[in-house]
């Protein structure tokens, strides 16, 4: 089994350890192999052939969230994201594990239509009291961690949202909205709110047909070929649009990497790079625009959670906060350990349920300790994860939804 990660990338690490306190899995376990420094060391050993790829090397790389919090902390400029992107596909090919579970996840999540069907069943499960029964009977406790994880992450969805689509709207500068895969099924209201807010601020929001999954989930799990085919399709669907706006941090970061992802594709390489340069998170677009629409006051304590793929991967921390501050009455409260990942990390919270649970609980505790009226974050995965571990009844939403409420002057 050949495992080979670029020596030049590996050698940038001087083993200083500055990354350790930023790494969520290290913070939880205290084990060197669960830190970026340790993971790089293992990649190095495997590349040299001094350690087998299967076993601890795979195990510790699998447990990495890919949150990239280590990247800004590294004084040597190690490109940890590139290391992971290089290693994960190799593991996927060389070390078969969780084959059934992974196949199931990837047969379902990236396909909105299938996901919608599953979600409808999910609604039935909830409405018909089956969920209540599963919890009450203790059956839930006896399910393996992964099934528990799946069960717990089921968000409340309205049938209406499952059966309608986000509409084109507004006049002015054209922006094309990525509706996402899991996003459009479980968070259609967020897409609707995004469209409304952008329209209110003077944009024409287009919703191109034929768009599917952007490939983020696949790429972050090491299924790079699958990610590339999703990428090509996405580029085709958004052909001709000047600005592509995204409201999911994970998707946005991968879209901005399409150039890298397709650099070896002779047909798509240039188009991918050009595409990537036109991608913006909704908070970036709002930051570029002057706030035009009047905002009604919302006197609320707001806890903003930095999604890793916004803060670390895209270095976007100021824009969402600035956007929230345009709402009169909003008080952004300080959250302890704000840079530590919530544990969602794509489908990590399904594949590494144990660690994800620990991190999810920790994040929930940290957020609620600031006594917020509402928790906001710009990523679907984080929304699901945080909702799972906070009290029922805690208001959690995408920042753009709060803006939407403020502009429309409604509380709901």
Partner 1 sequence: MSLTDLRDELTDRLGRDGVITDPAHLRTYECDALTGYRVVPALVALPRDAGEVAAAVTACARHKVPFVARGAGTGLSGGALPVADGVVISMQRLRRVVEVDPVDRRATVEPGVTNLDISRAAAKYGLYYSPDPSSQQVCTIGGNVAENSGGAHCLKYGFTVNHILAVDVVLPDGSTTRLGGDAPHQAGFDLLGAFVGTEGTLGIVSSVVVRLLHTPATVRTLVANFDSTKDAGDAVTAVIAAGIVPAAIEMMDNLAIQAVNAAVDAGFDPDTAAALIVELDGPADEVEARFADLTRLCAKATEVTIARDAEHRAKIWQGRKAAFAAVGRLSPNYFVQDGVVPRTRLGEALTRIAEMGDAAGIRVANVFHAGDGNLHPLVLYSEERGEHERAEALSSAIAELCVELGGSLSGEHGIGTDKACSMPRMFSEDDLATMLRLRAAFDPEGLCNPGKVFPTPRLCGERPGPYRPHPLEAAGVIERL
The binding site for partner 1 (CB under 8 A) comprises 11-18, 20-21, 30-33, 38, 41-42, 45, 50-52, 55-57, 60, 74-77
Beta bridge partners of 377: 305
Minimum distance from residue 78 beta carbon to partner 1 (Å):
8
What is the spatial order of strands in the sheet that 203-206 belongs to? 203-206, 173-177, 244-246, 279-281
Q: What angle do CA 278, 315, 336 make, to 5 degrees?
A: 145
Q: What angle do CA 340, 345, 351 make, to 5 degrees?
A: 120
Contact 35, 23 (CB under 8 A): yes
Contact 244, 278 (CB under 8 A): yes
CA distance 250 to 220: 9
Contact 335, 18 (CB under 8 A): no
Helix (H/G/I), strand (E/B), else coil: 354: helix
Residue bearing tokens 């990649």: 43
Identity of the residue, 73 or 237, whose beta carbon is nearer to partner 1 in the bound complex: 73
CA distance 317 to 306: 7
Number of neighbouring beta carbons within 10 Å of residue 29: 15
Least Cα distance to 144 among 361, 385, 354, 345 occurs for 354
- Dump the DSSP string for 394-410: -EEE-HHHHHHHHHHT-
Helix (H/G/I), strand (E/B), else coil: 98: coil
Which helix (H) or strand (E) segment is 177 a member of? strand 173-177
């Amino acid at each position: 089994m050949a495992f080979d990660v670029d020596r030049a990338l590996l050698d940038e690490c001087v083993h200083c350890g500055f990354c350790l306190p930023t790494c969520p899995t290290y913070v939880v376990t205290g084990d060197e192999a669960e830190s970026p420094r340790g993971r790089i060391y293992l990649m190095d050993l495997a590349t040299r052939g001094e350690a087998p790829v299967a076993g601890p090397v795979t195990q510790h790389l699998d447990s990495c969230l890919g949150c990239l919090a280590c990247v800004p902390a590294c004084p040597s400029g190690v490109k940890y994201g590139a290391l992971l992107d290089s290693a994960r596909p190799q593991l996927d090919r060389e070390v078969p594990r969780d084959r059934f579970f992974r196949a199931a996840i990837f047969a379902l999540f990236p396909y909105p239509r299938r996901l919608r069907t599953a979600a409808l069943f999910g609604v039935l499960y909830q409405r018909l009291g089956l969920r209540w029964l599963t919890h009450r009977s203790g059956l839930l406790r006896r399910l393996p961690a992964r099934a528990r994880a799946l069960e717990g992450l089921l968000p409340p969805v309205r049938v209406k949202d499952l059966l309608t689509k986000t509409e084109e709207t507004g006049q002015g500068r054209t922006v094309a909205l990525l509706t996402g895969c899991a996003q459009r099924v479980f968070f259609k209201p967020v897409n609707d709110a995004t469209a409304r807010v952008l329209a209110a601020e003077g944009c024409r929001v287009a919703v191109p047909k034929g768009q599917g999954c952007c490939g983020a989930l696949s790429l972050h799990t090491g299924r790079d070929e699958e990610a590339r085919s999703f990428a090509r399709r996405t580029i085709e669907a958004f052909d001709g649009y000047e600005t592509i706006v995204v409201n999911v941090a994970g998707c946005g970061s991968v879209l901005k990497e399409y150039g890298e992802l397709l650099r070896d594709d002779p047909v798509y390489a240039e188009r991918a790079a050009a595409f990537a340069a036109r991608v913006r998170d909704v908070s970036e677009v709002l930051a570029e625009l002057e706030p035009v629409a009047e905002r009604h006051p919302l006197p609320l304590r707001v806890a903003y959670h930095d999604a890793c793929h916004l803060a670390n991967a895209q270095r976007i921390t100021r824009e969402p906060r600035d956007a929230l501050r345009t709402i009169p009455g909003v008080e952004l409260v300080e959250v302890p350990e704000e840079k530590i990942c919530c544990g969602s990390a794509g489908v990590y919270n399904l594949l590494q349920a144990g660690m994800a649970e620990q991190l999810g609980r920790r994040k929930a505790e940290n957020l609620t300790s600031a006594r917020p009226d509402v928790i906001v974050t710009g990523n679907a995965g984080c929304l699901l994860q945080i909702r799972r571990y906070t009290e029922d009844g805690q208001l959690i939403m995408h920042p753009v939804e709060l803006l939407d409420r403020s502009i429309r002057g409604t509380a709901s």
